[in-house]
Chain A
Amino acid sequence: MAAFFAMGGYALFVWPCYVLALAVMAGLLVNSLLRARAAETELETVRQNRLDRPRRDKEVSA
């Protein structure tokens, strides 16, 4: 196990690569998930508001 973490003496170069890749890719994934959720929630809210409020063009045509 110690040999695994030592990476043949190159631990200081190998592990940062993997940790950084994990951090960047997980970070981007979480950011994208949150953006999608936030935008879709906002769309729901805006649509709901529009339905609640009577629309002028409908009144005119009615």
Chain B
Amino acid sequence: MHRFANPARFLRIANACFPWLAAVSGLSLAAGLWFALAASPADYQQGDTVRIMYIHVPSAWMGMFCYVALAVFGAMGLIWRHPLADLLGRATAPVGAAFTFLCLVTGSLWGRPMWGTWWVWDARLTSMLLLLFLYLGHMALSNAFDDRTRGDRAAAILALVGVVNVPVIKFSVDWWNTMHQPASVIKMGGPAIDRSMLVPLLLMALGFQTYYFVVLILRARAEIAGAKVESIRMAQVLGSGGEA
């Protein structure tokens, strides 16, 4: 049973935090939506399309955050062979992929009216598309082998190699000429965005961040239970009984 001692402790802490995370996520998303759709002003240049930002920007942040998390879990899995790190990586990849997908599609829906095009192959957009492919590659690799551990190893290496893409995404708007506007929140000298728009943006970001933790816990629970089922079955096949 010692193999799952740490996942058991993780489950205890995670299950204690779960209702609080779910409540914070639900409340901040509800408040964020109210501000984003009704109680915040239209932009003086972009009109009501600025409301797309309240989905687009938190999705982009989460797409990058989840990838960094994926790389950290990958490193932990490779260095310490910690089964929990592999489980958390498996649980994180689909969430990151979902957020990156949302970022790309909402960006496209924002680009059409404001830039006059759905898509341009510039640095920011292309590196974000690459991020989506890295997530899909991670999900495919981790399930590509009959032996789960081999899949986890391969996916962890991909996560670590691919993390170089994250600073490229972040600084692409400074390093290259691009259609995409530069950062206005996370930048030197503080946010260059009015409070009436910063508040809904941060509320949505908090809602997305806690949503990630909620989904992470649920998917980790599924992975942990699945791994236990597998080890019991394996033990029965080998005739030794008991959990590894």
Task: Report the interface size for chain A: residues with CB under 8 A from the other chain.
Answer: 32
Q: Give chain B residues whose Cβ lies under 8 Å from the Cβ of A35.
A: 218-219, 222
Using A24-B102, A56-B241 as known contacts, say yes or no to A36 and B225 having CB atoms under 8 A apart. yes
Q: Are B47 and A46 in contact (CB under 8 A)?
A: no
Q: Give chain B residues whose Cβ lies under 8 Å from the Cβ of A21.
A: 55, 59, 102, 106
CB of B37, distance to nearest CB on chain A (Å): 7
Q: Is chain B's interface secondary structure helix, strand, loop, or mixed overall?
A: helix
Q: Are A25 and B47 in contact (CB under 8 A)?
A: no
B110, B232, B241: which contacts A57 (Cβ < 8 A)?
A: B241
A9, A20, A36, A43: which contacts B218 (Cβ < 8 A)?
A: A36
Q: Give chain A residues whose Cβ lies under 8 Å from the Cβ of B233.
A: 46
- Bound complex: CA A17 to CA B204 (Å): 14
B37, B49, B215: which contacts A29 (Cβ < 8 A)?
A: B215
Using A7-B51, A13-B109, A13-B110 as known contacts, say yes or no to A43 and B229 having CB atoms under 8 A apart. yes
B17 within 8 Å of A by Cβ?
Answer: no
Task: Report the interface size for chain B: residues with CB under 8 A from the other chain.
Answer: 42
B16-52: contact bitstring with A at CB < 8 Å (1 yes, 0 no)?
Answer: 0000000000000000010001100010000111011
Task: In the complex, identify which listed stretch (B93-101, B123-131, B137-145) lies at the interface while the others stay far away.
Answer: B93-101
Q: Which residue of A lies closest to B218 (CB)?
A: A32
Q: Which residue of A lies closest to B106 (CB)?
A: A17
B182 within 8 Å of A by Cβ?
Answer: no
B33, B215, B242: which contacts A32 (Cβ < 8 A)?
A: B215
- Bound complex: CA A60 to CA B37 (Å): 69
Q: Give chain A residues whose Cβ lies under 8 Å from the Cβ of B33.
A: 18
Q: Which residue of A lies closest to B46 (CB)?
A: A10
A3-36: contact bitstring with B at CB < 8 Å (1 yes, 0 no)?
Answer: 0100111100110111011001100110011011
Q: Are B241 and A58 in contact (CB under 8 A)?
A: yes
- Bound complex: CA A46 to CA B243 (Å): 11
Q: Give chain B residues whose Cβ lies under 8 Å from the Cβ of A42.
A: 225-226, 229
B228 within 8 Å of A by Cβ?
Answer: yes
CB of B60, distance to nearest CB on chain A (Å): 12
B185 within 8 Å of A by Cβ?
Answer: no
Q: Give chain A residues whose Cβ lies under 8 Å from the Cβ of B223.
A: 39
CB of A56, distance to nearest CB on chain B (Å): 6
B240 within 8 Å of A by Cβ?
Answer: yes
Using A13-B110, A18-B55, A56-B241 as known contacts, say yes or no to A43 and B228 having CB atoms under 8 A apart. yes
Q: Are B236 and A50 in contact (CB under 8 A)?
A: yes
Q: Are B236 and A4 in contact (CB under 8 A)?
A: no
B239 within 8 Å of A by Cβ?
Answer: yes
Q: Are B211 and A25 in contact (CB under 8 A)?
A: yes
Q: Are A14 and B49 in contact (CB under 8 A)?
A: yes
